[in-house]
Amino acid sequence: MDNSELVPVINIGLNTGRYNFDYAMEELKALSEANNMTVVETIVQNLSQPIAGTYFGTGKVEELRDVVVDTGAEVVVANDELTPSQIRNLEKIVKVPVMDRTGLILAIFANRAQSREAKLQVELAKLQYQMPRLHTAMNQRLDQQTGTSAGGGFTNRGAGEAQIELSRRTVQRQINHVRHELKDVNKSAAVKRQQRERVQLPNVALIGYTNAGKSTIMNELIKRYGMNEDKQVTVKNMLFATLDTSVRQLQFDDSKKLLLSDTVGFVSQLPTTLVEAFKSTLYEAANADLLVQVVDYSSPNRVDMMSTTKQTLNEIGVPDLPMITVYNKADLTDNPYPSRAGDEIVISANDSKSIDLLVDVIREKVFKNYVDATFLIPFADGDVVSYLNDHATVKSTDYVEAGTKIEAEVTDIDYQRFGKYVTE
């Protein structure tokens, strides 16, 4: 996109010393760019806590006002979630719209949502974000209409409070309606998950910070082993390029199969409303047999990114599942690749040998419970033969007088399931 089409914005942040501030501001810049904005200036201040009325101190707010004029910025974006009064007061001074971090992320999600489920989840998060802000927003309009003098203000304020309550009930009805629609969508998604689970295939979920390369890795695996190569996922060099969890079935050369999920990326300080809304989207991660955490190895903030991933998994209730860590984008560093140290590997998703290593590690983890067995299956039970041909690694097949003799590598579950056919 041409820079002339991007909205010029000023990013502002308050360094309170409670977290990695530089990392948070870099992330805010990336989030702004993901929302079709270009950051023309960044203004920060060191304070132990935000100023209640204006976020920044008086002098810094005046500096911000002057920079808005000098740069022609059209929006101010704050690194924290602001109170409605802070937004209102800042807008009065700087004369341009002010957006906080939560509002920015919600805007990105609203633009990216493609599926009905994602759109409903974003709408629910937006409504929940607006609910506690109704009182201040309504009072602001009331003040503009009637003034704040003591004379007739009290009576008008009473009318305003009634209007606020009416608006709150309207928003609550909208929230209830969206939740009801989401239940219907989730039922449909649950049916699809149950169908996949009945097949009893291992589930591998790609997780991690947004824009770490999960979708690129998934597409490389689909190219090699996908059951339908044209079902590749969206890849863009931006935060939150896609919000929908994509599930694809892979089949390896030895006929072993698994389900691979590409989940929505994480980001630090993800709004609580979005974490709650997207729990169902992250179902695949919560029920995976193996988590593959993808990390941008070229980023100086990768440790913070991994911390964000761990925190988000805890927030959405993902249990302590088996996990391997994939340090991707090694081609942008001076480190050798591909390489492995235990459950950690260093790769480049664009490198063939790297994908080979990743596949080897995934197979080692998810197929570790496979056992070798010889089955003698009566000709009348041809459905068992068909099942083994579709779901097991068949090494040999012989037809003898008593039936079909198959040597195969199967899961321990299938070994127990067809135990009566196992020969010594």
**Sequence ranges of the binding site for Mg(2+):** 215, 242
Torsion of CA 408, 413, 415, 418, to 10 degrees: -110
b vs e for 370-393, b when ≥16 Cβ sit within 10 Å of the residue's Cβ? beebebebeeebeebbebbeebbb
3-class secondary-structure state, position 291: strand
Binding residues: 208-215, 240-244, 262-265, 328-331
C-alpha span between 31 and 125 (Å, rounded): 18
Nearest to 362 by CA among 410, 262, 291: 291
How many other CB atoms sit within 10 Å of the CB of residue 74?
A: 14
Rounded distance, CA 293 to CA 270, Å?
18
**Three-class SS state of 226:** strand
In whole angstroms, give the CA distance from residue 46 to residue 222. Answer: 48
Binding-site residues from annotation for GTP: 208-215, 240-244, 262-265, 328-331
Residue 338 burial (CB count, 10 A): 20
